[in-house]
Structure 1
């Protein structure tokens, strides 16, 4: 891609970012779930779980998240920190795709264990992540290991938390990190995490983003894996080195809303 083509594509994508990075985007997207809350820990917990459950039709994902958090009395942090064992029975019938009660109960256990020692979930993604690291790769690898460090971590739950170590594109966790880390005044992403830099984020490479990015020549790898997500992000950094993942709005919007 020559300089003229790069500038033309940047202008096109910048226009699409402005179009889709606005509050109207929230309504039909899983990011609407953490926007139901004001408390930082509620936003982190609901955002993380909404991202993990972001599999299938968006309306189904949103409804399933609302069902799950209703079981937590719509106060996830308070419920997780203060529930009695008998309160956990209500989750035994919860299921979304392959995510079931076993997974839900472990997530609750993990969050209680983590928040007993830390104020923000950001700390879990900072393990092994250097300030000068180009991407969050090391943070994602160490987060996965830390997430499953509790004694009774179920083997089956591991498939729900992706890691670059398994060459996964980690689209759901990258999406969650976008919500927590990106800073602007548009009202979609929260941007209240301070230690991970927006420039370290990796673009969530879901089906729609992948397809549009390939059409635009931003991905050349045949498969879709971690290196593909890194390749895409490297191309996006040519348009904005400090905030490459803002283009997720453009690529996703083009794919879903415009069937590009």
Structure 2
């Protein structure tokens, strides 16, 4: 397959999977329950945070999160009291437990009250064309208040060579405006050209089979390699190909 043929193939698959029917089986359905910007981004951030493992379980537990936040995530985070967090005691999703959830609520409150919210704290502040340093800095701000050390593992650090799959997925949801109603595109201060593909087992294996990724580990070095190739295919919207790679891997078992 030539590079032109490969691009046409991936463009076709991206169009096929990037449509509203994708929402029905994907965790992105959780933030789609909201209309207020801050509710959408908080629901998306928490959902993305627990997005590993069985997709049905992710959706079920993310729904439970929204219930515990009284279906008003922004208002709850800004105005909650310590006693309000007692109802979180039995929450667990794999290794993300009630201690982690309570810490995330406190840290999100800190982000909104002291740092201008999620959109502002994840903004690329230098001349970089990736979110590597921005995510690293965000993690520092998120945990600059008292916290349990165990919770730090739930936000990856690309500066330590993590592919940061979940936070890159969250960024795709917030920044990319796909015009078809899947990704939200509500962060107008961000540029979708700087986004990186949420690299996981499925997308990584498909990318290797297609010859657009050679590195075997799914880390930031692999993501950088994949970025360069996808940006050659579409420099303005490179992560639209996440739909193609993910769809080929999960739904078509292409890898």
Q: TM-score range by the shorter chain?
A: over 0.9
The answer on 1:179 being equivalent to 2:173 is yes
| CA–CA distance in structure 2, aligned partners of residues 258 and 240 of structure 1 | 23
Distance 1:77 1:45 in 2: 7
Task: Tell me, in whole angstroms, the C-alpha distance in 2 between the residues paired with 1:72 and 1:181.
Answer: 24
> Structure 1 length as normaliser, TM-score?
0.95
**CA distance in structure 2 between the aligned counterparts of 1:73 and 1:141, rounded to whole angstroms:** 30
Give me the whole-angstrom Cα distance separating, in 1, the residues matched to 2:73 and 2:99: 17
* Whole-angstrom CA distance in 1 between matches of 2:252 and 2:167: 25
1:129 matched residue in structure 2: 125
Matched residue, 1:170? 164
1:196 aligns with 2:190: yes
Q: Which runs of structure 2 are paired with 1:1-260 in the superposition (5 Å)? A: 5-126=2-123, 129-130=125-126, 132-150=127-145, 152-260=146-254
Cα displacement (A) at 1:119: 4.8
- What is the distance in 2 between the residues matched to 1:161 and 1:120? 16
By how many angstroms is 1:143 displaced?
Answer: 0.8
**8 Å contact 1:42–1:76 — kept in the other structure?**
yes
Helix, strand or coil at the partner of 1:129? coil
Question: Matches of 1:86 and 1:153 in 2, distance apart?
Answer: 17
Equivalent residues of 1:129, 1:136 under 8 A apart: no
Gaps of 5+ in 2: none
1:163-192, CA deviations, whole angstroms, 9 ceiling, x for partnerless residues? Answer: 112211100000000000012211000001
Paired residues, what number? 254
Shift in Å, 1:118:
4.9
Q: How far apart, in 2, do the equivalents of 1:84 and 1:196 lie?
A: 32
Runs of 4 or more above 2 Å deviation: 117-120
Structure 1 position 129, deviation (Å):
2.7
Given that 2:161 and 2:220 are in contact with CA atoms closer than 8 Å, whether structure 1 keeps it comes out as yes
Distance in 2 between the 1:247 and 1:105 partners? 35
Q: RMSD between aligned alpha carbons?
A: 1.2
Please, what TM-score do these two structures have when normalized by structure 2? 0.96
Native 8 Å contact 2:110 2:142 kept in 1: no
The answer to whether the Cα contact below 8 Å between 2:163 and 2:199 also exists between their aligned partners in 1 is yes
Unaligned runs of 5+ in 1: none
C-alpha deviation, 1:222, in angstroms: 2.1
Q: Distance in 1 between matches of 2:190 and 2:137?
A: 14
8 Å CA contact 1:30, 1:54 repeated in 2: yes
